[in-house]
Amino acid sequence: MTAGRATKLKLAREYPVLGEDEYIRKIAESLKSDLERTYKPGNTLRDAHPKNIGCVKAEFKVEPHLPEELRVGVFKELRTYPAYIRFSNAATTIQSKGKSYWRMRSMRRRRTSWL
């Protein structure tokens, strides 16, 4: 890829950046350092959204009106997947219950059916 020119990217192909391994090493080092500074040894939580507010069972449905160019991976077939939705706080550290409000939702598709 060249800077300043639009390039059509191919699906399922990686376009590594020159020096990418060094960027990854520096990011991992920075995250590790931050976690070591934030938490006591043996009590390290997630690096982001550590406070779980709640978790619910859900269904993830692939809708029929999805454009053809987006029908890849789990979006390829019209299907319903069992899933979980996790609600969490955006703070990087656990706060008191009085400050408990959710700002983040994440979803995970389950591989085994519970339906």
11 band by pLDDT with thresholds 50, 70 and 90: confident
pLDDT at position 87: 77
55 band by pLDDT with thresholds 50, 70 and 90: confident
Please give the residue that has the higher pLDDT: either 77 or 95: 77
Please give the residue that has the higher pLDDT: either 78 or 86: 78
Contacts of 99 (CB under 8 A, 6+ apart): 89, 91
Please give the residue that has the higher pLDDT: either 6 or 79: 79
Q: Which percentage of the chain shows pLDDT scores above 70?
A: 66
20 band by pLDDT with thresholds 50, 70 and 90: very high
All structural domains of the chain with their residue ranges? 17-44, 48-115
**Is the pLDDT reported for residue 44 higher than 70?**
yes
**Distances in Å between the alpha carbon of 24 and those of 32, 82, 95, 97, 102?**
12, 33, 30, 35, 30
pLDDT at position 22: 95
